[in-house]
């Protein structure tokens, strides 16, 4: 298969997330119009990309997103055989996010829909001099984890674990003025 050498495999992940230069974008698009194997691969990558974006969202992912992610991961071995490194790395991200998604599902099972995250999301802005290890220790003590950020103003959104009391957590954060500039309910 002589054409196989010319498949722009390593560019497809970037084509899928729209970060190619215009010239490369056009070259890949031309190839895709003539190559079913690369179109299959692109469909796979787009499903992955959608899964990653959904997983990054602070809101519960919902049934549809989860099924889409699962079907992306179940894609036949043929499509994975030539996984480039970049894709292997993003697959690893999806696996990790997949674990988070399972947790969303568990939480949702025990609480009425719509109340899953009620009061459990907080906005936090860390002081510039706060170290990663100090922040990690503080979050573990609540316990809470970062679900998004930093936003334009340097604000992170953190989600409290089900056992954490939101009022108490907020009080702890506000006492730690050595690490925290601002903490509020989301």
Q: Within a 10 A sphere around the Cβ of 55, how many other Cβ atoms?
A: 20
Cα–Cα nearest to 146, from 159, 162, 136, 155 = 159
The size of the chain, in residues, is 186
Quick note: the x/- pattern for Zn ion over 37-76, rule CB under 5 A, is -x--------------------------------------
Collapse the DSSP code of 159 into the 3-class scheme (helix H, G, I; strand E, B; otherwise coil) and give the result.
strand
In the complex, least distance from residue 7 CB atom to Zn ion, rounded to whole angstroms: 4
In the complex, least distance from residue 77 CB atom to Zn ion, rounded to whole angstroms: 18
Q: Is 121 in the site for Zn ion (CB under 5 A)?
A: no
Element (H, E) at 144: strand 144-148
Task: Tell me the site size for Zn ion, rule CB under 5 A.
Answer: 3
Question: Between residues 7 and 27, which has the closer beta carbon with respect to Zn ion?
Answer: 7
Q: Is 35 in the site for Zn ion (CB under 5 A)?
A: yes
Cα–Cα nearest to 169, from 126, 140, 129 = 140
Residues of this chain that interact with Zn ion (CB under 5 A) are: 7, 35, 38
């Amino acid at each position: 298969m002589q054409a196989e050498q010319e498949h722009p495999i390593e560019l497809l992940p970037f084509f899928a997330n729209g970060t190619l230069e215009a010239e490369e974008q056009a070259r890949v698009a031309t190839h895709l119009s003539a190559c079913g194997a690369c179109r299959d691969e692109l469909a796979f990558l787009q499903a992955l990309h959608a899964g990653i974006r959904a997983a990054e969202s602070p809101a519960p992912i919902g049934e549809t997103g989860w099924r889409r992610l699962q079907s992306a991961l179940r894609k036949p071995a043929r499509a994975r055989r030539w996984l480039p490194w970049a894709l292997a790395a993003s697959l690893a991200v999806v696996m990790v996010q997949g674990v988070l998604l399972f947790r969303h599902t568990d939480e949702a099972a025990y609480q009425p829909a719509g109340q899953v995250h009620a009061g459990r999301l907080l906005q936090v802005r860390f002081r510039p001099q706060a170290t990663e290890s100090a922040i990690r220790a503080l979050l573990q003590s609540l316990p809470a984890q970062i679900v998004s950020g930093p936003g334009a103003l340097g604000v992170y959104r953190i989600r409290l674990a089900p056992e954490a009391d939101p009022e108490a957590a907020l009080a702890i954060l506000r006492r730690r003025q050595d690490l925290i500039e601002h903490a509020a309910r989301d």
